[in-house]
Structure 1
């Protein structure tokens, strides 16, 4: 049986839940046309990267001290279905660090589920980067 592609088609609405189109929101960040202005914006764009299967963006926005050599989103059978931002601290142009707590919703072979994370971000120059997270199922 052929392996199905895990890179979904680019959606019309942005997966991050902003209410904007993907092209006007996270798509601009994924393509490199814009940079995330805050830790929360980076977290939203990374969620969207998981939703659309953009491994290159995920690696590019991962802090070099904690970044894995590679990702394999094709091995993940989850389809990401929604995002709730629960809390954000720091992470603006006035900060060099920030945290975002969020709940990401998905479906997989077992049905619907969610994952809650408290992620840490660090700004290097003009770039916000993901550092690490505590995950709570």
Structure 2
């Protein structure tokens, strides 16, 4: 079975190792993108324990694993699209912008979020997110931070249309 996160990898090799070992801490996502994908798979499978454990304690409020499990199981998850991902220069903060489609109570919902992640004690945690972030213009610098390597443009930022918009 392919992974729920649409990585085109087998579930057993992609998100399952994170979801099955989160409480024991044996396998943890190495990047904000891997955490984002595994959290999507956790919603699909109704794994509220994983969702709660991977949410920064300063921002999860009074959410419970049971509430997160119920939300995950009460939706039909239709797909995840990654817009861009970036790890900040300090290596302790990251961003993943994505779109998720799901059906809830008979209507299709599109969630577009720019999620912020923080590394705490060697583990990436979801901190919070900005819903419906501003649109990235085709000629704006790509938010992933990619730069040109050619001699002519060496070190200049790639335009969004030349980088992550191609995905």
Alignment TM-score, normalising by the size of structure 2: 0.68
Contact kept in structure 2, 1:91 and 1:98, CA below 8 Å = yes
Task: Name structure 2 gaps, 5 residues minimum.
Answer: 134-167
The alignment's C-alpha RMSD in Å is 2.1
Aligned to 1:131: 127
The whole-number CA distance in structure 2 between the counterparts of 1:50 and 1:91 is 26
Runs of 4 or more, structure 1, over 4 Å off, are: none
Task: Name structure 1 gaps, 5 residues minimum.
Answer: 1-11
Please say if 1:54 is aligned against 2:47: yes
Structure with the greater alpha carbon radius of gyration = 2
Q: How does 1:1-137 map to 2 (within 5 A)?
A: 12-32=1-21, 33-69=26-62, 70-71=64-65, 72=67, 73-75=69-71, 77-90=74-87, 95-136=91-132
Larger helix share, 1 or 2: 2
The whole-number CA distance in structure 1 between the counterparts of 2:88 and 2:79 is 22
Contact kept in structure 2, 1:40 and 1:91, CA below 8 Å = no
